[in-house]
Structure 1
């Protein structure tokens, strides 16, 4: 159940949120909002796969 929820969230994230790795964003120069989005996407992806 939880894994399915995170899989759906990962698909929504992919459709809505920007991909900073494709934009080759330098994380040392990223804003707080960009870091928050990056961290959220990473968390959801890890939960969906694990």
Structure 2
């Protein structure tokens, strides 16, 4: 299930690494997206 979510995240959600987003200047919404992607990716790998 998490592997499917990880693939959907990659397709739908923005990639802040390519945009070189500074975490200190990120909004709460951007931080929530980063946290969600981290949560799903960590579960998909285990």
The TM-score bracket by the shorter chain reads: over 0.9
> Deviations for 1:19-39, whole angstroms, at most 9, x for unmatched residues?
111111000000000000000
Counterpart for residue 17 of structure 1: 13
User: Unaligned 5+ residue runs, structure 2?
Assistant: none
Using the size of structure 1 for normalisation, the TM-score is 0.89
How far off is 1:46 after superposition?
A: 0.3
Q: Residue 41 of structure 2 aligns to a residue in which SS?
A: helix
Using the size of structure 2 for normalisation, the TM-score is 0.96
Larger CA Rg, structure 1 vs 2: 1
User: Unaligned 5+ residue runs, structure 1?
Assistant: none
Structure 1 stretches of 4+ with a deviation exceeding 6 A read: none
Distance 2:41 2:13 in 1: 13
